Amino acid sequence: MISRLARLSLATLISATIGITPVSVMAADPAPVTPPAAAPAPAATPTDKAAEKKAKKAAKKEKKAEKKAKKKSKKKAKPAADAATQ
């Protein structure tokens, strides 16, 4: 069984490696400097994703409510049909 200290050490080592990787890539292959105007574009992407996620969630909730209403109306219609046949 791996001890907590060993797990923590391994996790720290892995995260440090992942964190250093982009720095080593930049050192090996220097890319042209991007203008400061290009920086806000990636910042706008997460808000777009968040808005998209909220819209999907709202659509899913609406669809679920619609399905539930249909099911309820079907359930109510069934006893009425049974009563009409008797």
23 vs 79: which has the higher pLDDT: 79
Would you state the structure tokens that stand for residue 54, as one six-digit string?
């909220």
pTM above 0.85, yes or no: no
Domain ranges of the chain: 1-31, 55-86
Give the span between the Cα atoms of 67 and 47, in whole angstroms. 30
Does residue 11 carry a pLDDT above 60? yes
H/E stretch holding 17 reads: helix 4-28
pLDDT at 48: 77
Give the span between the Cα atoms of 46 and 53, in whole angstroms. 10
Does residue 85 carry a pLDDT above 80? no
Q: What angle do CA 70, 60, 57 make, to 5 degrees?
A: 155
Q: What is the pLDDT of residues 13-68, one digit of tens each?
A: 888 877 776 666 565 555 566 655 555 555 556 677 788 888 889 999 999 999 98
